[in-house]
Amino acid sequence: MARAKLDRIDRRILSDLQSNGRMTNVELAERAGISAPPCLRRVRALERAGIIKGYHAELSPEALGYSVSVFALVGLNSQAEADLKAFEELIANWDEVRECHMLAGEADFLLKIVAETWDDYQKFLTTRLTSAPNVSHVKSMMVFRTAKEVPGVPISTEA
C-alpha cells in the first residue's frame, strides 16, 4: 500500500480520533479548524482509503476476569506459505489469541494470548496450541506488568 498524502488537517483528525474515537464530528471539526460538513467528508474519505480501519472500545481485561496475558513465540515445522496460512486460519478461531504477528527470526509467529487464570492458559497451551498441526515449539513469556500500551501509530500534527 502506498503511503497516503495527508495534509495538516487530515493528520489532526487522525490524531484526535486515534486518542478518542467517540469524539463528535462537531468537536473534531472544531479541533481541526474546519466546519463539520467538510470534516465528516474527510473522515469518510480516510475510512474509504483504509487509513481509518475501524472503531472500538478499549476494555479492561482485568475487569472482565482476564488476569493473565502471555506472549508466545511459536515455531512451525514448515514455513511453506500453505502451512503459514493454515496456522493463521486455525488461530483466527481461537478467542484467547488476541494478536498474531508473523516474524522473521528464530520463531515464526508471536501471539498475544489472554486467559482468566494460569490454569486456563496451561490448558490452552497443552490442549490446543502445542498440539496444533505443524507446531514444533512454543516459548511462553508471561506478562507481569504493562508500563505502556498505546494503540495506533505516532501522528505528527505539525506541517
Q: Does 33 share its domain with 72? A: no
Q: Does 97 share its domain with 132? A: yes
Q: Does 42 share its domain with 70? A: no
Q: Does 23 share its domain with 80? A: no
Q: Does 120 share its domain with 95? A: yes
Tell me the C-alpha distance between 138 and 87, whole Å: 13
Q: Does 134 share its domain with 66? A: yes
pLDDT tens digits along 9-18 = 999 999 999 9
Residue 159 confidence (pLDDT): 63
Q: Is residue 55 one of the residues assigned to a domain?
A: no
Q: Does 15 share its domain with 79? A: no
Q: Which pLDDT band holds residue 1 (cuts at 50, 70, 90)?
A: low
Q: Is residue 150 one of the residues assigned to a domain?
A: no
Residue 5 confidence (pLDDT): 87
Percent of the chain with pLDDT over 70: 98
Residue 62 confidence (pLDDT): 93
Residue with cell 472503531: 55
Number of domains in the chain: 2
Residue 90 confidence (pLDDT): 98
Q: Is residue 155 one of the residues assigned to a domain?
A: no
Tell me the C-alpha distance between 65 and 67, whole Å: 6
Residue 8 confidence (pLDDT): 94
Q: Is residue 154 one of the residues assigned to a domain?
A: no
In this prediction, residues 61-77 reach a mean pLDDT of: 97
Q: Does 68 share its domain with 97? A: yes
- The whole model's pTM is what? 0.86
Would you call 12 exposed, middle or buried from its count of C-beta atoms within 10 A (0-12, 13-18, 19+)?
buried
Locate the DSSP E strands across 15-85. 68-76
Question: What letter does residue 64 receive in the DSSP assignment?
Answer: G
pLDDT tens digits along 103-139 = 999 999 999 999 999 999 999 999 999 999 999 999 9
Give the CATH number, domain containing residue 40: 1.10.10.10
Q: Does 80 share its domain with 37? A: no
| Containing structural domain, residue 109 | 62-142
Please state, rounded to an integer, the average pLDDT across all residues of the chain: 95
Give the CATH number, domain containing residue 108: 3.30.70.920
Q: Does 138 share its domain with 78? A: yes
